[in-house]
Chains A and B, each alone.
Chain A
Amino acid sequence: MATTKVPEVRDITRIERIGAHSHIRGLGLDDALEPRQVSQGLVGQLASRRAAGIILEMIKDGHIAGRAVLIAGQPGTGKTAIAMGIAQSLGPDTPFTALAGSEIFSLEMSKTEALSQAFRKAIGVRIKEETEIIEGEVVEIQIDRPATGTGAKAGKLTLKTTEMETIYDLGNKMIDSLSKEKVQAGDVITIDKATGKISKLGRSFTRARDYDAMGAQTQFVQCPEGELQKRKEVVHTVSLHEIDVINSRTQGFLALFSGDTGEIKSEVREQINAKVCEWREEGKAEIIPGVLFIDEVHVLDIECFSFLNRALESDLSPVVIMATNRGITRIRGTNYTSPHGIPIDLLDRLLIIATSPYTEKETRQILKIRCEEEDVELSEEAHTVLTRIGMETSLRYAIQLISTAGLVCRKRKGTEVQVEDIKRVYSLFLDEARSSQYMKEYQDSFLFNETQTPAMDTS
Chain B
Amino acid sequence: MAVQSWIDILKSSKKTALIHDGKRKVHYLFTDGKEMSEEYDLKTDELIVRKWRLKNTLGGQGQWQAEVGEHLAGPVTSLDSDGLRENCSNPVFMRKDTKTSFQWRIRNLSYPKEVFSVSVEPTERCIIIKTSNKKYYKKFSVPDLDRSQLPLDSSALSFTHANNTLIVSYKKPNEILTLERELLKELKKLKGTCDGDVDCKTQ
Please list the residues of chain B having a beta carbon within 8 angstroms of any beta carbon in chain A: 56-61, 78-87, 89-90, 130-131, 134-139, 203
The answer to whether A163 touches B61, judged by C-beta atoms less than 8 angstroms apart, is no
Q: Please tell me which one of the listed residues A134, A160, A172, A193 contacts residue B80 in the complex, with CB atoms under 8 A apart.
A: A172
Given A172-B80, A173-B83, A164-B136 contact (CB < 8 Å) = yes
A160, B112: Cα distance in complex, Å: 21
Distance of B26 from chain A, by nearest CB (Å): 18
Binds B, one of A24-32, A59-67, A74-82, A243-251: A243-251
The answer to whether B137 touches A171, judged by C-beta atoms less than 8 angstroms apart, is no
The answer to whether B134 touches A169, judged by C-beta atoms less than 8 angstroms apart, is no
The answer to whether A161 touches B84, judged by C-beta atoms less than 8 angstroms apart, is no
13 chain-A/chain-B pairs, Cβ below 8 angstroms: A156-B87, A163-B137, A167-B90, A169-B85, A169-B87, A171-B78, A171-B82, A171-B83, A227-B139, A238-B58, A246-B58, A246-B60, A249-B60
The answer to whether A127 touches B58, judged by C-beta atoms less than 8 angstroms apart, is yes
Please list the residues of chain A having a beta carbon within 8 angstroms of any beta carbon in chain B: 127-130, 134, 152, 156-157, 160-174, 191, 193, 196, 226-227, 238, 242-243, 246-247, 249, 251-252, 272, 275
Find the B residue at minimum CB distance from A170.
B84
The answer to whether B136 touches A171, judged by C-beta atoms less than 8 angstroms apart, is no
Find the B residue at minimum CB distance from A127.
B57
Distance of B76 from chain A, by nearest CB (Å): 14
Interface centre among B83, B87, B89 (most CB of A within 10 A): B83
A191, B85: Cα distance in complex, Å: 12
The answer to whether A173 touches B80, judged by C-beta atoms less than 8 angstroms apart, is yes
A247, B56: Cα distance in complex, Å: 11
Distance of A167 from chain B, by nearest CB (Å): 4
A369, B133: Cα distance in complex, Å: 66
Q: Hey, which chain B residues are within 8 Å of A130, CB to CB? A: 57
A170, B87: Cα distance in complex, Å: 9
A162, B136: Cα distance in complex, Å: 10
Find the A residue at minimum CB distance from B130.
A163
Q: Please tell me which one of the listed residues B59, B80, B130, B203 contacts residue A247 in the complex, with CB atoms under 8 A apart.
A: B59
A243, B55: Cα distance in complex, Å: 13
A130, B57: Cα distance in complex, Å: 9
Q: Hey, which chain A residues are within 8 Å of B138, CB to CB? A: 164, 227
A240, B139: Cα distance in complex, Å: 37
A160, B135: Cα distance in complex, Å: 8
Given A164-B136, A164-B137, A196-B84, A169-B57 contact (CB < 8 Å) = no
Distance of B118 from chain A, by nearest CB (Å): 14
Find the A residue at minimum CB distance from B55.
A247
Given A161-B137, A163-B134, A164-B131, A169-B86 contact (CB < 8 Å) = yes
The answer to whether A162 touches B134, judged by C-beta atoms less than 8 angstroms apart, is yes
Q: Please tell me which one of the listed residues B78, B81, B139 contacts residue A226 in the complex, with CB atoms under 8 A apart.
A: B139
Which 8 pairs between the two chains have the least Cβ-Cβ distance?
A163-B137, A164-B137, A167-B87, A174-B83, A171-B79, A196-B83, A247-B59, A246-B60
A196, B81: Cα distance in complex, Å: 10
Q: Hey, which chain B residues are within 8 Å of A162, CB to CB? A: 134
Q: Hey, which chain B residues are within 8 Å of A160, CB to CB? A: 134
